[in-house]
Structure 1
Amino acid sequence: MLHSAKQQSFSFHSELYNLIPENHLLRQIHDVVDFSFIHDLVRTSYCEYYGRPANEPELLFRLLFMQYLYNLSDERMIQEAQVNLAYKWFAGLNPEDTLPDPSQLSRFRNHRLGASQVDDVLKNIVKQCIDKGVIKSKTVIMDATHSLASSQTQRPLEILRDAAKRLVRVVVKKHPKLEKKLPSQPKLEKDQADAEKVMLHYLADLGEAVEHLLPDHEGAVSEKLHIAKQIVEDERLLANKGIMSAIDPDARFGWKSNTKSFFGYKEHIAMTEEEIITAVEVTGGSADDGKQFTKLLNQSLDTGMEISEVIGDTAYSSKDNLAVMKKEEIQPVVPLNPVVHNGGQKQEGFDYNKDADFVICPAGEHSIRKAIQGSKQTGKSRSLVFYFDVEKCKVCPLREGCFKPGAKSKTYSIRVVAEHYQEQIEFEMSETFTERIKRRPIIEHKNAELKRFHGLTRAKYRGLFRMRMQAILTAFAVNAKRMVKLINKMQPVS
């Protein structure tokens, strides 16, 4: 049951708060950021008339805010707030008041904010920045950074065993009488050749049995069952290119360069020139940066911000992205790359990775070399041809319809169609482009701040949903900190 937001009731001990310096960061944030919006945002996730009184949403959200501002765990946040006067004052509590259990932070984050439109959390602070005159530019800068998964990679057999074990454990814990009705795990011989296929069939049978026995499953059972089905349906699993962890099945391998890879997630970010983050999109580590452009642009426009210019790297220079910007009368300050803005029909499942400069096939294998074909004199009908390892193609589980038996090579061609981009090519040669593209590196500084000071280097939780929560709440905290700094600059010098 949700009550209206209550005011802090000062006690005799509240005089201790006078010890908090006036220029303390939390005092400054309290003065410029309005946190009351959270009450209406999460209202629909509570029952308003029945049940036990709930902890006040603004109290819990302020605790979450400090958690991401200072990069603390749920338990550490509550421990620190219990003895830190500034933390307790910011939360709206009296010095002698007790704090919620750490589990309340997790519940509020996942079941209250998560049940609402969590994007509105970020959108609200951006609107506050606009209302206070903090955002003056009409430019957004886009880039992506990455976070390492909180779990280690596993081999296919380990993934299958782990997923089965976790599903059986949660079913037996909640429904002990069903233990004997579940299919028994097969006994595998050491170095058994078809061990992975046997376990894959067992996991599929186990999932079907659980669905039959518990048609109304929910909670932890639903979560583990969903993971099991994801693994069974992943065609690339046995080739070591799909799901790499039964604990965090949404994490994926991504590439930072031709030789450096990572396992985790990508945060795609849009930011103003004032360094206020306007949009965040979270994907697995293998996602194409350029394909998130439209989502980032729409999220930024939804805040009420006017956008007349987008600055980014070559990942955002695809034909579709340029067409969207032209339609919206937005000037694209993005370097063109003949690989990214290609002509002709792309073969489904093949993606170009601009950081590593290779193409990744549907099975997760990447090209081993590239060559340019066509007339050098006229520049017409030229193509970039990417070559794959034929030996791997011969045994690939997805080779049907992709690799012809007996073929000596497997290639993927991208036709260079420069004439479609003549206007952008001419702009790229101008002094205006040269000057404006110099603004792009400031988003690199913001990415470094998110990772170095606010814990975005590694996922705190598992799964795409929780990673998204982490990224958006981190962006909110960073925006609030930046908002204070910008407003202080706007104040006249006394």
Structure 2
Amino acid sequence: MMGHREKQQAELFYEFSLEGHVPQDHLLRSIDRFVDLTSVRDHLKPFYSHTGRPSVDPELMIRMLLVGYINGIRSERRLCEEVHLNLAYRWFCRLDLTDPVPDHSTFSKNRHGRFRESNLLRMVFEAVVARCIEEGVVGGEHFASDASLIEADANKQNSTAKEDWDPDKINPEIASRAVKDYLFSLDDEAFGAATDVVPKFTSHSDPSSQWTAARHGPAFFAYSNNYLIDTDHAIIVDVQASRSVRTGETYATRTMIERAHERFGLWPERLIADTAYGSAEMLAWLVYDWGIEPHIPVIDKSKRDDGTFSREDFAYERETDSYVCPAGKQLLRNRRKFQTIRADQSDLDFVKYGAAKADCEACALRQQCCPKGAPRRLLRSKYEGARQMARDIAKTEDYAISCKLRKKVEMLFAHLKRILGLRRLRLRGPNGANDEFLIAATAQNLRKLAKLFPGGPKPQTA
């Protein structure tokens, strides 16, 4: 017989507990064990007035933001609706059934005010990294770095071609927040000072974003999200936004390595990265300044494709500071003497070696070496020692292992875009990009901790 539920009078009192309605194996339960925001109020205390109406609890806003990024909820308006309806979200945010949910506009007001002025989001991110170190999932020996393009909140229709763009004509007093950030970051090595090349188009709404076609498809405005990870468990040690150019990404990596050492005392033995980080300057910085092994392919444009000898066919002799050609003749340093020294930067970064003209003209291998005219000359980078070290490392078994470990960074970016939904930024300017990247990296680290310790943190040994 078909059942029928008769309508009854509503009960006047209910016994209800959020704790009992959130499953023990829920993701937010596992994550909550590693979230400690007790220091948020002390960190923000100087930025609040001592009088006036009480504000929305900043810990509540941070917990709501974490819920949004952990679950791929990109809209803060929708986030407020979901927290209002979802019992697990309410439990994680420490909200009872009768507690009101903050309005979505509260997030924007605090983000552009107290949160950014106090650098709160970085403090929260570093607190989670410190917890990862405390749990023993950060080895601190092998780091990997990479960057991924994240589309900016800008489009070509609202942009200016490079021949018409002049930042000196911008009036800072009436400019938008993103434009002011752009003017402020013109001397930043990861943004305005990353390169003096003017992009083909500059966005009016977000001038700091880079017009790029790096994906070999339609060009778009983007920022680079730079990760520095520990390869033991793919924990994100640091994160930094930058302009989507190679020099901006390398400067961001330097900043992250320095900051990881300053904040946590981490000093890796090796850095794993792709060819984009294999410039002579970057390799020299790693080897000479920090003593870090560069497990990085070297950027080398000396290879010739016309069948003639490349620089690698010449043997370098350290004792005499000279090269020996395949015919056994020496190429000496600064064979030609100049009365005036040119101040070109390329002359400062490279040392010139040349063969004797008589040796080349009488050589039987001339057509394979310098068919267009004698004598043969070579350029050697002043950082060639670091470059050669990277080449030697590339021949080892450890380097082959490093190539596999580098894929962990790429997997984090895939997770960022597919699971967290961060394919396009909602906020504009360098500060907006940094805010989104920081909270997303915090969410990824918390999800990793929950995966590694589903039953809770390790018991502390006496």
1:329 equivalenced with 2:291 (yes/no): yes
Offset of 1:320 from its aligned partner?
A: 3.0
What one-letter code is carried by the residue in structure 1 that aligns with 2:268? Answer: I
TM-score, normalization: structure 2?
0.70
1:241 equivalenced with 2:199 (yes/no): yes
* 2-structure distance, mates of 1:138, 1:13: 53
Structure 1 segment 456-471 matched on structure 2, within 5 A = 456-471=422-437
SS of residue matched to 1:307: coil
Offset of 1:13 from its aligned partner?
A: 5.9
Offset of 1:311 from its aligned partner?
A: 1.0
SS of residue matched to 1:22: coil
Structure 1 segment 336-485 matched on structure 2, within 5 A = 336-339=298-301, 377-378=313-314, 417=381, 419-420=384-385, 421-485=387-451
Change (3 A) 1:371 1:151: farther
Offset of 1:110 from its aligned partner?
A: 2.4
Aligned twin of 1:276: 235
Per-residue CA shift, 1:196-235, capped at 9, x if unaligned? 97x989x94xx66xx8xxxxx5xx76638748979xxx9x
What one-letter code is carried by the residue in structure 1 that aligns with 2:418? Answer: R
* 2-structure distance, mates of 1:245, 1:71: 27
1:111 to 110, 113, 132: 113
* 1-structure distance, mates of 2:277, 2:132: 26
Per-residue CA shift, 1:41-90, capped at 9, x if unaligned? 3233222x122211111111101111111222110010011111111111
Structure 1 segment 147-166 matched on structure 2, within 5 A = 147-154=150-157
Per-residue CA shift, 1:415-457, capped at 9, x if unaligned? 5648433333222212222223221111111110011111221
Offset of 1:313 from its aligned partner?
A: 0.9
Change (3 A) 1:419 1:150: closer
Change (3 A) 1:324 1:225: closer
Change (3 A) 1:437 1:224: closer
* 2-structure distance, mates of 1:416, 1:13: 79
SS of residue matched to 1:295: helix
Aligned twin of 2:88: 86
Offset of 1:123 from its aligned partner?
A: 1.4
Per-residue CA shift, 1:260-289, capped at 9, x if unaligned? 644211111111121111111112223533
What one-letter code is carried by the residue in structure 1 that aligns with 2:84? Answer: Q
What one-letter code is carried by the residue in structure 2 that aligns with 1:67? Answer: G
Aligned twin of 1:367: none
SS of residue matched to 1:80: helix
2:257 to 288, 297, 302: 297
1:319 equivalenced with 2:285 (yes/no): no
What one-letter code is carried by the residue in structure 2 that aligns with 1:378? Answer: F
What one-letter code is carried by the residue in structure 2 that aligns with 1:450? Answer: L
Offset of 1:114 from its aligned partner?
A: 0.9
Asked if structure 2 preserves the Cα contact closer than 8 Å seen for 1:154 and 1:244, the reply is no
Aligned twin of 1:53: 54
1:486 equivalenced with 2:452 (yes/no): yes
Offset of 1:258 from its aligned partner?
A: 5.6
SS of residue matched to 1:42: helix
Asked if structure 2 preserves the Cα contact closer than 8 Å seen for 1:14 and 1:95, the reply is no
The more displaced of 107-116 and 89-98 is: 107-116
* 2-structure distance, mates of 1:13, 1:97: 17
| Percent of residue pairs identical | 25
1:120 to 123, 134, 139: 123
1:143 to 125, 143, 146: 146
Asked if structure 2 preserves the Cα contact closer than 8 Å seen for 1:293 and 1:321, the reply is no
SS of residue matched to 1:488: coil
Asked if structure 2 preserves the Cα contact closer than 8 Å seen for 1:38 and 1:61, the reply is no
Change (3 A) 1:110 1:70: farther
* 1-structure distance, mates of 2:24, 2:278: 47
Change (3 A) 1:78 1:373: farther
Greater Cα radius of gyration, structure 1 or 2: 2
SS of residue matched to 1:81: helix
Asked if structure 1 preserves the Cα contact closer than 8 Å seen for 2:240 and 2:434, the reply is yes
Asked if structure 1 preserves the Cα contact closer than 8 Å seen for 2:178 and 2:429, the reply is no
Change (3 A) 1:415 1:57: farther
Aligned twin of 2:137: 134
Change (3 A) 1:255 1:471: same
Change (3 A) 1:100 1:200: same
* 1-structure distance, mates of 2:88, 2:200: 46
SS of residue matched to 2:282: helix
Change (3 A) 1:461 1:323: same
Offset of 1:306 from its aligned partner?
A: 4.1
Offset of 1:120 from its aligned partner?
A: 2.4
What one-letter code is carried by the residue in structure 2 that aligns with 1:300? Answer: A
Count of residues paired in the alignment:
373
What one-letter code is carried by the residue in structure 2 that aligns with 1:80? Answer: E
* 2-structure distance, mates of 1:59, 1:372: 67
SS of residue matched to 1:300: helix
Offset of 1:300 from its aligned partner?
A: 2.2
What one-letter code is carried by the residue in structure 1 that aligns with 2:443? Answer: A
Offset of 1:491 from its aligned partner?
A: 6.1
Aligned twin of 1:6: none
1:21 to 23, 30, 46: 23
Offset of 1:134 from its aligned partner?
A: 2.4
Change (3 A) 1:372 1:70: farther
* 2-structure distance, mates of 1:240, 1:272: 35
Aligned twin of 1:223: 177
Asked if structure 2 preserves the Cα contact closer than 8 Å seen for 1:270 and 1:279, the reply is yes
Offset of 1:466 from its aligned partner?
A: 0.8
Aligned twin of 2:69: 68
SS of residue matched to 1:457: coil
Asked if structure 2 preserves the Cα contact closer than 8 Å seen for 1:140 and 1:307, the reply is yes
2:223 to 260, 265, 274: 265
SS of residue matched to 1:32: coil
Offset of 1:146 from its aligned partner?
A: 0.8
TM-score, normalization: structure 1?
0.66
Aligned twin of 1:253: 211
What one-letter code is carried by the residue in structure 2 that aligns with 1:282? Answer: A
What one-letter code is carried by the residue in structure 1 that aligns with 2:285? Answer: V
Unmatched 5+ stretches in structure 1:
1-10, 161-195, 212-216, 343-369, 382-400, 402-413
